[in-house]
Amino acid sequence: MVDVQWWLSGYDSQVHAFRTEQAGRDFGEALCEHSVPTAKITCTDEGRRCMACLLLVGDLLAERLDATWRAS
C-alpha cells in the first residue's frame, strides 16, 4: 500500500493525502502540495476528498503495481 493517510484539512475542508512519515511535524504537506498546520488537521477521512490527491495516490499505486509486476 501507499504510505499515506487521508486527513481532513481545516483550511479548505477537504480530505487530503498526507505522507505518514510527516507525523510529529508542525506542518503537514499533502501530496497535492496543500500545506496545513497540524493543529488544523483532523484525523478523519470522512469528507470530500481532494481530487488532486486522489489522482496522485492513483499514480503512486500504479507505480507500485508496475514494480511488482516487473519483479515477478
Return the residue of 4, 8, 16, 41 that touches Zn ion, per CB under 5 A.
16
Q: What whole-number distance in Å separates Cα of residue 23 and Cα of residue 63?
A: 24
Q: Which residues pair with 49 in a beta bridge?
A: 15
Which of 12/63 has CB closer to Zn ion?
12
Return the residue of 15, 36, 41, 50 that touches Zn ion, per CB under 5 A.
50
Q: What whole-number distance in Å separates Cα of residue 17 and Cα of residue 30?
A: 5
Q: What whole-number distance in Å separates Cα of residue 57 and Cα of residue 53?
A: 6
Binding-residue total with Zn ion (CB under 5 A): 7
Return the residue of 2, 32, 54, 60 that touches Zn ion, per CB under 5 A.
32
Q: Which grid coordinates are listed for 63?
A: 507505480
Residues near Zn ion (CB under 5 A) are 16, 30, 32, 34, 50, 52-53
